[in-house]
Amino acid sequence: MATGIIYNVQRYSIHDGPGIRTTVFLKGCPLDCWWCHNPESQKPGQEIIFWEERCLRCGDCAGTCKKGAVVFRNNMPVILTENCDLCGSCSSKCPSGAQEMVGRKVSAAELMKEIEKDTIFFDESGGGVTFSGGEPLMQPDFLDELLKRCKEKQINTAVDTSGYASWETVNRISENADLFLYDIKLMDNIRHKKYTGVDNDIIINNLKLLARKHNNIVIRVPVVPGINDSSDDMLAIGEFVLTLGIKSLNILPYHNTGMDKYRRLHLEYKIPETKPPSQERMGEIKDRLGSLGLNIKIGG
């Protein structure tokens, strides 16, 4: 039986496909997007995030760690990553949840029990389950089994993906996925690699192949001011999507609500001065892309 690592199950979601949905976030992502608002999703394994404002300075985390990986400096716990084996003793002992383990190992059967609790909402709203991340295609065996189990239960499925995986993986997953929410960040390969850490050849080629065999694909484009929000960038994406026969495109306004997580994970946030695009700018982009004949939605 396939097992995987997830870091969140979000219920009553209305932005990850049709109807009311349960979104399952799988851990691990091959991209390193400068604007990522879920940095805890990037590493494939478990990790610990520290919430300073919750900390009681009680010392329980240090006292329970058998590896000596938690020490106090300036009256605050600090994890020595070179000593930490991610056993989870500090997070399980922490009375306030200041030390939080991100990521939990589950079997497909265990996760399906959680998903099936929401079938009444799926049935009433035309919803289902969305597998997101991170990048869900990084756990293909786990994802494939979940999709097959959902199909057996007649639960609608969506896969939210960057498309950065082998075609063999994408093709395999497409056999049982009802909907793809497929991200495109930039058409320019050089800038794509600069801002995401990978080039876009695999992403573009996979989308071309996928569009030939799957008839339910929605393109999602994050709109990040100063990176990909120019008219030329947006038109390049829109015109490419049209060549594939895809009509649905969602534009997602950048937000910086995940910025504080970077500090807690000891990571650098590369665009701290970037502000979300205005409603007026999002409206302009929607109108311009819509004039190409695309069905444009802001958000979703």
Q: What is the mean pLDDT of residues 252-271?
A: 91
Residue 81 has pLDDT above 90, yes or no: no
| Alpha-carbon 244 to chain mean position | 24
Q: Which residue has the higher pLDDT, 92 or 190?
A: 190
Q: Alpha-carbon distance 189 to 197, whole Å?
A: 11
Residue 276 has pLDDT above 80, yes or no: yes
- At residue 63 the predicted structure's pLDDT band, cuts being 50, 70 and 90, is confident
Question: 51-65 burial, b if ≥16 CB within 10 A, otherwise e?
Answer: eeeebeeeebbbeeb
Q: What is the mean pLDDT of residues 147-173?
A: 98
Residue 264 has pLDDT above 90, yes or no: no
> Rounded to whole angstroms, what are the CA distances from 269 to 17, 30, 36, 90, 274?
29, 17, 9, 26, 11
pLDDT at 70: 87
Q: Alpha-carbon distance 28 to 134, whole Å?
A: 5
Residue 10 has pLDDT above 90, yes or no: yes
Q: Alpha-carbon distance 1 to 111, whole Å?
A: 12
Residue 268 has pLDDT above 90, yes or no: yes
Q: What is the mean pLDDT of residues 250-276?
A: 93
- At residue 248 the predicted structure's pLDDT band, cuts being 50, 70 and 90, is very high
pLDDT at 224: 98
The sign of the dihedral angle between the CA atoms of 34, 210, 244, 157 is negative
pLDDT at 177: 98
Q: What is the mean pLDDT of residues 18-38?
A: 97
For residue 38, which of 257, 252, 220 has the smallest C-alpha distance?
257
pLDDT at 229: 97
pLDDT at 101: 87
Q: What is the mean pLDDT of residues 147-168?
A: 98
pLDDT at 43: 93
Q: Which residue has the higher pLDDT, 85 or 225?
A: 225
3-state secondary structure (DSSP) of residue 120: helix
Residue 1 has pLDDT above 80, yes or no: no
pLDDT at 240: 98
Q: What is the mean pLDDT of residues 176-205?
A: 98
Residue 51 has pLDDT above 90, yes or no: no
Specify the pTM.
0.92
3-state secondary structure (DSSP) of residue 291: coil
Chain-wide mean pLDDT for the chain?
94
What are the chain's domains? 3-44+104-298 (3.20.20.70), 47-102 (3.30.70.20)
Residue 175 has pLDDT above 80, yes or no: yes
Q: Alpha-carbon distance 41 to 260, whole Å?
A: 14
CB 219 within 8 A of CB 184: yes
Q: Alpha-carbon Rg of the chain, whole angstroms?
A: 20
pLDDT at 211: 98
- At residue 153 the predicted structure's pLDDT band, cuts being 50, 70 and 90, is very high
Q: Alpha-carbon distance 223 to 233, whole Å?
A: 10
